């Protein structure tokens, strides 16, 4: 095999100790990149530390709300590429604390973009938006041309960051691309309010998994390894025409009902005597009832499409949590 594109590249990752950030960080390190990780909080048991990444990266302690910190980091580490994953990503937290969510997700994004704009030698910036930025639509799946019409704090924060990011390309020529992914899952996600890690933990511990809705909401689910593949492909292609200033959806375009998802997890786990606890609440309070994505553009422009089918990905994910529970990594 030829030399990796990322070998000796200087890469900044915000939110590097998060669920997706940790896997992206590992891949970049394994491909020879020099990684600078902006980390606000030390989270015991986080996948970043399970993978032993803290000894392989340069860690900058602080939040993306700190413009001076970001500017210093970009300049001193001579950043060439950046993946911006830092965010307050829990919908419930956003509903209870919208200001801190806006500070992290909106101010944090413009602070980072401005620090990169003022930096020298920055060739690629990938910004993590979300399918939630689209809001609720009758016509599905979402394409990249679907209007952004968010109604709730988290969704709005991601839409704002999304629009601000692209404005830095069109106004200043900063080579930015934006991703909007479906629901991302895989080992290492410690946010147990999410349906997949929450269900897996409950089932493996012998408890009935809770479904807050009536089980009918539909979502598209994508494994974190496929997500990392798309991030790296976009980072490689920037600043090419058709990539800079663009948005790319990432998903399977295969909606799955929440109840069917939970039943699959139970079956794959091999656990007997557990069943879904369907609480039957409406999807309101910031939850969108039906969402899935058309990723045709990513396939056409980048040659990317997800490789990991849901059944395969769930099996991998269950095994990750089974091992972590056996090691008493979390409760």
250 contacts 184 by C-beta, under 8 angstroms? no
Out of 154, 185, 231, 321, the active site residue is 154
Respond yes or no: is residue 207 known to be catalytic. no
Helix (H, G, I), strand (E, B) or coil at 116: helix
Q: Does an H or E element contain 326, and which?
A: helix 310-326
| 22 neighbors 47 (Cβ within 8 angstroms) | yes
Which helix (H) or strand (E) segment holds residue 91: the answer is: helix 91-96
Q: Determine the Cα–Cα distance for residues 317 and 310; give it in Å rounded to an integer.
A: 10
Torsion of CA 44, 48, 53, 57, to 10 degrees: -100
DSSP for 178-194?
EEEESEEE-TT---TTS
| CA distance linking residue 261 with residue 311, whole number of Å | 10
CA distance 88 to 25: 19
Q: CA 203, 209, 213: angle at the middle one, nearest 5?
A: 155
Write the DSSP assignment of 3-36 as a string of letters: PPTTTT-EEEEETTTSHHHHHHHHHHHHTT-EEE
- All residues at 6 or more sequence positions from 113 whose CB lies less than 8 Å from its CB, including other chains: 125, 164, 165, 168, 174, 176
Strand 256-257 and strand 218-219: the pairing is: antiparallel
Catalytic annotation, residues: 154
């Amino acid at each position: 095999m030829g030399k990796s594109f990322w070998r000796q590249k200087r890469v900044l990752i915000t939110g590097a100790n998060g669920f997706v950030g940790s896997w992206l960080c590992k891949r970049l390190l394994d491909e020879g990149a020099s990684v600078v990780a902006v980390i606000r909080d030390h989270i015991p048991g986080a996948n970043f530390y399970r993978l032993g990444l803290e000894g392989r990266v340069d860690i900058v302690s602080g939040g993306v709300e700190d413009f001076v910190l970001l500017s210093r980091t970009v300049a001193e580490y001579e950043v060439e590429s950046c993946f911006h994953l830092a965010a307050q990503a829990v919908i419930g937290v956003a509903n209870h604390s919208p200001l801190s969510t806006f500070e992290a997700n909106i101010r944090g994004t413009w602070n980072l973009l401005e620090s990169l704009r003022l930096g020298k030698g920055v060739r690629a910036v990938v910004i993590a938006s979300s399918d939630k930025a689209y809001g609720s639509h009758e016509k599905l799946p979402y394409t990249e041309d679907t209007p952004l019409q968010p109604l709730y704090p988290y969704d709005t924060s991601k839409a704002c960051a999304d629009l601000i990011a692209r404005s830095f390309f069109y106004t200043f020529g900063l080579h930015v691309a934006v991703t909007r992914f479906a629901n991302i899952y895989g080992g290492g996600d410690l946010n147990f309010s999410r349906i997949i890690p929450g269900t897996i933990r409950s089932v493996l511990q012998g408890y009935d998994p809770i479904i807050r809705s009536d089980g009918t909401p539909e979502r598209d689910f994508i494994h974190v390894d496929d997500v990392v593949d798309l991030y790296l492909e976009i980072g490689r292609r920037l600043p090419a025409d058709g990539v800079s200033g663009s948005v790319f959806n990432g998903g399977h375009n295969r909606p799955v009902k929440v109840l069917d998802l939970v039943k699959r997890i139970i079956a794959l786990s091999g656990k007997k005597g557990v069943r879904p606890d369907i609480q039957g609440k409406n999807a309101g309070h910031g939850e969108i009832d039906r969402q899935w994505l058309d990723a045709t553009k990513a396939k056409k422009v980048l040659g990317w499409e997800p490789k990991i089918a849901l059944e395969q990905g769930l099996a991998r994910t269950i095994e990750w949590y089974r091992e972590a529970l056996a090691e008493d990594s979390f409760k």
